[in-house]
């Protein structure tokens, strides 16, 4: 049976970066390369009911129930194939550090890129273990190819060990999770599971069933350009209006200053000139009440500036992205109990934490498929300092096998 590390190292060689500006599904055609590989591997290992949605780049498969276990609820495991647009996922050059010494890690001596324990103190926890790191020029892709590799390793083990009793299992791999579209074309009816887990988390032991309520906003500021020498009472600078808008948002509710259950407004991009400026924001909060209050303040700030500078100065396009799955999972807490039991059986102490982000599982939960999230063992996702612990990946495979047997 292939080791989870070997699978992971193979998968990260495939560039599957999604694109926030992409208009189709998937947003990038290159995601199909990994999808086709997974279909090929699932076929070889003997999985059943393999479906490859060639139009939208989803992969589904089944591991049939063992004899006498056909009546058990159908459990699903889901991970996403794409990587973040934030940093390049092309030409990934992973490196394995065996028996890590607990000191700073030189990722790229030529470029002077060093992962410092002063910046990432949790590195010290992995002294003596094996880490997979980048060469400092790309992300690693553990988010979420680690989850893909862990699920595939579990699947191969169960398909080659018919003596391990388990109910029917469903596997799903999605595109475009990193751009918020992973569940857009997920066929819940075809998947036909009673419950599922996304394998898309961080540090070993983390178990998540709370995530942000999320909205995206595009704010367009309209100005008037006049020669600065003759601009008094005539010029209206769209860039300055954008800065004024940002200044009306609470300074403390910025991602740089928030943690745990604290929500935020995040200015993701600002482009423009005197005539026109466009600002892209994301709005996040675990509390639905506070989430709605944040959106209301956003609209209020826009209305104030329109009253100050004239109607039409500020245009706000505000759209909800996903909601906190806690509202759904609270009626299915047995999923959390089973996951905690599976972790402890694997020698891992579970830690329930809120997701400061979202997963496919959040939207799937609202689509009728209760779907909390499990750890993968990775850290520092979406950047050049991303890394994952090999022993953690191996432990996650054990956790998945324990859940499957549950």
Q: How confident is the model at residue 357 (pLDDT cuts 50, 70, 90)?
A: confident
Given the residues 82, 176, 206, 208, the one annotated as active site: 82
Kindly report each contact of residues 114-121 with a partner whose C-beta sits within 8 Å and lies 24 or more positions away, as own/partner.
115/385, 115/387, 119/385, 120/379, 120/380, 120/385
Do residues 312 and 329 share a domain? no
**pLDDT value at 9 more than 80:** yes
394 is catalytic: no
Given the residues 150, 156, 177, 210, the one annotated as active site: 177
Do residues 263 and 235 share a domain? yes
* pLDDT per position as a tens digit, 90-103: 999 999 999 999 99
Q: Cα 65 to chain center, whole Å?
A: 30
Helix, strand, or coil (residue 183): coil
Cα gap 178→60, rounded to integer Å: 19
Q: How confident is the model at residue 231 (pLDDT cuts 50, 70, 90)?
A: confident
Do residues 222 and 197 share a domain? no
Q: 236: how many CB neighbours lie within 10 A of its CB?
A: 19
Pick the closest to residue 16 from 86, 77, 85 (CA basis): 85
Per-residue burial over 30-65, b if 16 or more Cβ lie within 10 Å, else e, is bbbebbeebbebbeebebeeeebbeebbbbbbbbbb
Instruction: Give me the torsion for CA of 207, 290, 220, 304, rounded to 10°.
Output: -170
Do residues 220 and 77 share a domain? no
Do residues 48 and 178 share a domain? yes
Tell me the binding residues. 80, 143, 178, 200, 382
* pLDDT per position as a tens digit, 32-67: 999 999 999 999 999 999 999 999 999 999 999 999
Tell me the binding residues for Zn(2+). 80, 143, 178, 200, 382
Flag whether the pTM goes above 0.75: yes
7 burial (CB, 10 Å; 0-12 / 13-18 / 19+) is: buried
* pLDDT per position as a tens digit, 245-291: 999 999 999 999 999 999 999 999 999 999 999 999 999 999 999 99
Domain limits at 192?
A: 4-210+324-405
* pLDDT per position as a tens digit, 329-354: 999 999 999 999 999 999 999 999 99
67 is catalytic: no
Cα gap 77→339, rounded to integer Å: 12
Do residues 204 and 62 share a domain? yes
Q: Among 322, 350, 371, which residue terminates a domain?
A: 322
Do residues 167 and 225 share a domain? no
């Amino acid at each position: 049976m292939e080791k989870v590390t070997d699978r992971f190292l193979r998968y990260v060689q495939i560039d599957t970066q999604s694109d926030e500006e992409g208009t189709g599904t998937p947003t990038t055609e290159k995601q199909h390369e990994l999808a086709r590989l997974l279909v090929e591997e699932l076929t070889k290992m003997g999985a059943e009911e393999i479906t490859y949605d060639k139009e939208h780049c989803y992969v589904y498969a089944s591991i049939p129930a063992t004899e006498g276990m056909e009546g058990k609820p159908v459990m699903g495991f889901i991970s996403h194939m794409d990587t973040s647009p934030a940093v390049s996922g092309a030409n990934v050059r992973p490196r394995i550090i065996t028996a890590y010494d607990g000191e700073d890690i030189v990722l790229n001596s030529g470029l002077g890129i060093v992962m410092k324990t002063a910046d990432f103190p949790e590195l010290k926890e992995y002294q003596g273990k094996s880490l997979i790191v980048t060469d400092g020029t790309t992300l690693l892709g553990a988010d979420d190819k680690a989850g893909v590799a862990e699920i595939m390793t579990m699947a191969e083990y169960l398909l080659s060990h018919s003596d391990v009793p388990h109910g029917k299992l469903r596997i799903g791999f999605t595109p475009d999770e990193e751009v918020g579209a992973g569940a857009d074309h997920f066929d819940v009816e075809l998947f036909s599971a009673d419950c599922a887990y996304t394998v898309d988390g961080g540090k070993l032991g983390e178990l998540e069933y709370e995530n942000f309520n999320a909205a995206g906003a595009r704010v367009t500021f309209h100005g008037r350009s006049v020669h600065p020498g003759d601009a008094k009472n005539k010029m209206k600078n769209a860039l300055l209006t954008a800065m004024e808008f940002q200044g009306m948002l609470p300074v403390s509710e910025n991602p740089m200053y928030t943690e745990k259950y604290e929500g935020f407004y995040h200015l993701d991009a600002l482009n423009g000139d005197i005539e026109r400026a466009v600002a892209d924001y994301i709005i996040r909060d675990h509390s639905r009440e506070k989430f709605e209050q944040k959106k209301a303040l956003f609209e209020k700030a826009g209305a104030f500036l329109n009253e100050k500078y004239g109607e039409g100065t500020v245009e706000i396009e505000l759209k909800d992205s996903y909601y906190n799955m806690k509202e759904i999972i609270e009626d299915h807490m047995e999923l959390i109990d089973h996951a905690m039991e599976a972790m402890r059986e694997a020698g891992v102490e579970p830690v329930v934490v809120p997701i400061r982000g979202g997963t496919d599982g959040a939207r799937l939960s609202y689509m009728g498929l209760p779907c909390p999230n499990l750890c993968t063992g990775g850290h520092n996702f979406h950047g050049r300092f991303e890394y994952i612990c090999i022993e953690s990946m191996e432990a996650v495979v054990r956790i998945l096998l324990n859940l499957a047997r549950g």
